[in-house]
Amino acid sequence: MTEGPLTGMVVVDLSRALAGPHAAMMMGDMGARVIKVESEGGDDTRRWGPPFVGPDGAQESTYFLSCNRNKESITLNLKTDKDRKTLIRLLEHADVVVENFRTGVLDRLNLSLKTMHSINPRLVILSITGFGHDGPEGGRAGYDQVAQGEAGLMSITGMTADQPTRVGVPIGDLLAGMYGAWGVACALTERERTGKGQIVRTSLLAAIVGVHAFQGTRWTVAGEVPHANGNHHTSICPYGLFRCKDGYVQIAVGAESLWQSFAHAFGLPVDAEEFATIPQRVRHSQAVISAVEMAFSDYEAEELLRMLNELGIPSGKVRTIDEVYEWDQTRCQCLLIDVEHSSLGRISIPGPPIRLDRDQRETHQAPPRLGEHNASVRAWLDVMETDLVRDSRPAR
136 cis-preceded (ω within 30 degrees of 0):
no
Positive/negative CA dihedral, 276, 277, 280, 282? positive
C-alpha 263/C-alpha 288 separation (Å) is: 11
Q: Find the catalytic residue in 83, 173, 246, 298.
A: 173
Based on the residue annotation, tell me whether 391 is a catalytic residue of this protein.
Answer: no
C-alpha 53/C-alpha 186 separation (Å) is: 38
Q: What is the 3-state secondary structure (H, E, C) of 215-262?
A: HHHHHHCCCCCCCCCCCECCCCCCEEEEEECCEEEEEECCCHHHHHHH
Q: Which of 396, 393, 387, 380 has its CA nearest to residue 12?
A: 380
Facing residues of 18 across strands?
none
Q: b/e map of 136-158 (b: 16 or more CB within 10 Å)?
A: eeeebebebebbbebbbbbbbbb
Catalytic site positions: 173
